[in-house]
Structure 1
């Protein structure tokens, strides 16, 4: 039972790291998708000009 708090700490640290990476990833995806609509490239830009 002496090692139980140590394992809890590392599981908590891993969950926090995953949560932070998920928030950063979702924020990056949101910004990317917003910018893609604002500045279309390729076929999207040609279609928009028609």
Structure 2
């Protein structure tokens, strides 16, 4: 089990946000603010990725 299980609340330097544990309304807000985005699943986690 990973020691870091807390969801990130801010995008990383590369425009990736771990949204696995966030409510849908919060994910929608991030997506609207970021513009063009897509979702990625890796290792059982869901990430919102901003197109640059």
Greater radius of gyration (CA): 1
Highest RCO, 1 vs 2 (Cα 8 Å, sep ≥ 6): 2
Give me the TM-score of the superposition, normalised by structure 2.
Answer: 0.26
Which has the larger helix fraction?
Answer: 1
Which has the larger strand fraction?
Answer: 2
Give me the TM-score of the superposition, normalised by structure 1.
Answer: 0.26
